Amino acid sequence: MNAGDLAARLSPKFTEAVVARDEVTVTVDPSGIIAMLEFLRDEPGLEFDWLSDVSATDRPGRDPRFWLAYHLYSTTHHHRLRVSAGVPESRPSIRSVTSLFPGASWLEREVFDFFGIRFEGHPDLKRIIMPEDWEGHPLRKDYGLGGVPTRYHGAFIPPVDERGS
């Protein structure tokens, strides 16, 4: 199914269905994520039975602040879909989709590690890439890049995120 037809089929069910650059993005309320993914998996003609990626983006200006993106794929129809869910900063948590897609286990752990979003129902939610006792969530926009400034022959070069433009 091409992007236009897919969007037309989905828009009654979701708050928003956007087609851009040959891709369909639907927005969903985080409380209904499991029901929506089940619907997308079981509905004949859609059959999004494979999860490609779970990731998050930090948009500090907006409310909700964290936007999760679930990239789905259908092995029978070969079409893709992006499901977006916004999670507020005050309560950054959402249901885990590992019951539907066991492969999301590590992907959700990585989102927790880098953004601090908790996944309820995840079998083993702990940091995966940063050390166990690391403080802070590195991919948030208010977390600095780190790194050391350089001093050489009288010149001072600050680290990358503190430089001019």
Range 4-33, binding another protein (CB under 8 A) = 20-21, 23, 25
DSSP single-letter state for residue 153: T
Nearest CA-CA partner of 100 in 29, 27, 34, 28: 34
Q: At its nearest, how many Å lie between another protein and the CB of residue 145?
A: 5
Q: Counting Cβ atoms within 10 Å, is residue 100 exposed (0-12), middle (13-18) or buried (19+)?
A: middle
Between CA 134 and CA 116 the distance in angstroms is 12
- Cβ proximity to another protein: between 31 and 42 the closer is 42
Exactly one of 4, 45, 102, 121 binds another protein (CB under 8 A); which one? 102
Which region, judged by CB under 8 A, interacts with another protein, from 3-11, 28-36, 37-45, 75-83?
75-83
- Report residue 95: phi and psi, to 5°: -70, 145
Half-sphere exposure of 147 (CA within 13 A, CB side): 11
Q: Does 155 bind another protein (CB under 8 A)?
A: no
- Restricting to residues 118-147, name those near another protein by CB under 8 A: 127-131, 134, 138-139, 143-147
CA torsion sign for 19, 83, 60, 157 is: negative
Cα 68 to Cα 40: distance, rounded to the nearest angstrom: 17
Q: Which of 69, 93, 116, 118 binds another protein (CB under 8 A)?
A: 69
**Count of residues in contact with another protein, rule CB under 8 A:** 44
The token duo for 117 is 């979003």
Residues 37-66 that bind another protein (CB under 8 A): 49-53, 55, 57-58
Q: At closest approach, how far in Å is the CB of 39 from another protein?
A: 19
Tokens of 53: 């990626």
Residues in the site for another protein, rule: CB under 8 A? Answer: 20-21, 23, 25, 49-53, 55, 57-58, 69, 71, 75, 78, 80, 82, 101-107, 110, 127-131, 134, 138-139, 143-148, 159-161, 165
